[in-house]
Structure 1
Amino acid sequence: MFDPILVVACCAGIGLTLTYFTLGSSRVPVAKDDDETDDDVRPVRKRRVLIVTAHPDDEVMFFGPTILHFTQREGALVYLLCLSSGDYYGKGKFRCLELMESCRFLGISKENIMLYRCDELPDNPSIMWPVLRTANLINQHLHALDINMVITFDSGGISGHINHSALYSAIQYLVEEEFLPEDCEAFSLDSVNIFRKYLSVLDVPLSYAVSSCAFTVDFTQYSAIQRAMKAHASQYVWFRKLYMIFSRYVLINTLTRLCP
């Protein structure tokens, strides 16, 4: 009979080995301009990416690998649209300042950060944001900034927060109604079950293997994500510290293209 401890140790060893060779690589969606084959000399337009979040700290807790890929590896123009100040516990003023500092570590310029304080979109886990109002706000920025890639949460919202899910509903509405800019594509961050969510490094090879769009971090970028989270000092309590250690979202993001 096999020793169960030995079997677990071998599986963990294989997983860690595969993770070592996976971290630092990315599988990037092909931009629409890249599909053009009739004019090979035409320059490809730099990607203009909008990350849409609900609260300050969403950008680092969930989208860190994606943001760092575009700011550091690809050199894309990255914008962040955060649709609330995170004032559920009355700390919105401080959280806005923390967001600016976090984005500095992630490579997003201060002038590219847009933070909304809107009574119709409160930071509240029991209030669903109106789809049309949310969609219109997002769409204004997509067109004004000439965005060609927008990224937000999926319907599960990663953590189940309904403010996160509302962003998915809004962008899915824009996709279905064909309101996005002509060359803009929408992607959602994949939610996974709670077991995989906290597998940390052991989930990286599986996620990378089964996803058509995936971003991982190297060790330097992992340190940048940790520094960005510490910038959210008002939110950096013990359970968030544990999350930043064990969450696979700190190491890998997998995205799904939204279709009508």
Structure 2
Amino acid sequence: QACRVVHHDTSHPSFAQKSNWTFTSQVIHCEYCFETHLICDRARPTPRPAAMGLLLLVGVLAFGALLGLYGYGVSMVQTRFPRLKNKRICLLIAHPDDEAMFFAPTLLSLTRPETGNHVKVLCLSTGNANGLGETRKRELIKSCVMLGLRQDDVFVIDSPEFQDSIRADWDKNDISALLCMPFTPHHVVQKASDNDTPPIATVDVLITFDQHGASSHPNHISLYHGARTFISTLMRGRSDWETPVDLYTLASVSTARKYTGVFDALVTMCIGAISMRTTIDKHPTRLLFCNQLFGDSGLPTAWAAMTGAHRSQMAWFRWGWIAFSRYMVLNDLRLEQFGRK
């Protein structure tokens, strides 16, 4: 008659005949033969304390090497990659906090005194979706000052055409018309037939989101189309002339890359070093701006601009964003092409 298992005795001494092995086995008492049987399925070595310590040490050293490599990469980007100097620059955003959540590396780099740039921020809404418009306007100004701008260089539009909404697209022609007012002389676009007159603008560089909006927000995407319409309008009938305004857009990435922070930044730096080039008119086709992980005017400042200035927006999920988002440590800007460029 076959033996039948009554109970398991996991404390049986046969279970640990060797101190460094763990048996995935069963010790059974048989009610027929009254003997103990040890049935071993397989065995695997138990990690020794010394081995665990070695693994921990290797992990710490690897993490330190990663941080060191990132710091070296940032230094290379800041010293050897193309820079913008002595330019009139406008960052075009949709909502208060876009400048900190998406463009902090760009602003911290472009507002350094040694660059000689004059940077402005133009925000097309007050972010009043939850009735906090006035609060968010003040938060935007505070954040921009922390990121290196002057208070007088921060402008917020409060217009029925540009209301903060996750379901609303803004009209690209309305955005273009709005940009024409401050950035073309006398608030008038020159006649389209006057090809003998070069196009003139009071801004050299316009920076905004790309066609995917970084987070797929329709307001962000609308800025891209509005900015392109603005420059196309400025160049209409003047194809023989160089575009007076360079439009750079923030490259959107997949969700997986978006939340890999420093890891994705290292990959982007390597790819950028290989693909970096300029147009025939000496305009960089790609700009990389990176935050150092420590010290002033780096990642701590970017974090402070979000957590310290935009307090009304610090819901629980924002902490995950500022901790892991690549946009907090790196901005990859691409030059939009118009005509000759």
Question: Under a length normalisation based on structure 2, what TM-score does the superposition of the two structures give?
Answer: 0.66
- Assess if the C-alpha contact under 8 Å between 1:103 and 1:109 holds in 2: yes
After TM superposition, the structure 1 = structure 2 runs for residues 112-191 of structure 1, keeping only pairs within 5 Å, are 112-143=153-184, 146-179=202-235, 182-191=243-252
Is 1:207 the counterpart of 2:278? The answer is no
CA distance in 2, matches of 1:156, 1:196: 15
Counterpart residue number, 2:108: 68
CA distance in 1, matches of 2:92, 2:253: 19
Compared CA separation, residues 194 and 11, structure 1 to 2 (3 A): farther
- Please state how far the C-alpha of 1:236 moved relative to its aligned partner: 1.2
- Please state how far the C-alpha of 1:183 moved relative to its aligned partner: 2.4
CA distance in 1, matches of 2:250, 2:128: 24
Compared CA separation, residues 15 and 178, structure 1 to 2 (3 A): farther
Question: Under a length normalisation based on structure 1, what TM-score does the superposition of the two structures give?
Answer: 0.85
- Please state how far the C-alpha of 1:143 moved relative to its aligned partner: 2.8
Higher relative CO (Cα under 8 Å, sequence separation at least 6) belongs to 1
Match of 2:165, SS? coil
- Assess if the C-alpha contact under 8 Å between 2:125 and 2:157 holds in 1: yes
Unmatched 5+ stretches in structure 1: 1-5, 32-44
CA distance in 2, matches of 1:202, 1:124: 32
After TM superposition, the structure 1 = structure 2 runs for residues 92-107 of structure 1, keeping only pairs within 5 Å, are 92-107=133-148
Residue of structure 1 aligned with 2:88, choices 30, 40, 48: 48
CA distance in 2, matches of 1:178, 1:100: 30
Residue of structure 1 aligned with 2:329, choices 244, 247, 251: 251
Residue type at the aligned position of 1:22: G
Which one is further off, 94-103 or 131-140?
131-140
Unmatched 5+ stretches in structure 2: 1-54, 186-200, 237-241, 273-285
Is 1:59 the counterpart of 2:99? The answer is yes
Structure 1 vs Structure 2 CA RMSD? 2.4
Aligned length: 241
CA distance in 2, matches of 1:28, 1:115: 32
Give 1 or 2: higher helix fraction: 1
Larger Rg: 2
Counterpart residue number, 2:196: none
Residue type at the aligned position of 2:135: F
Residue type at the aligned position of 1:215: F
Counterpart residue number, 1:223: 300
CA distance in 2, matches of 1:227, 1:20: 20
State percent identity of aligned pairs.
Answer: 32
- Assess if the C-alpha contact under 8 Å between 2:89 and 2:117 holds in 1: yes
- Please state how far the C-alpha of 1:75 moved relative to its aligned partner: 3.4
CA distance in 1, matches of 2:81, 2:99: 19
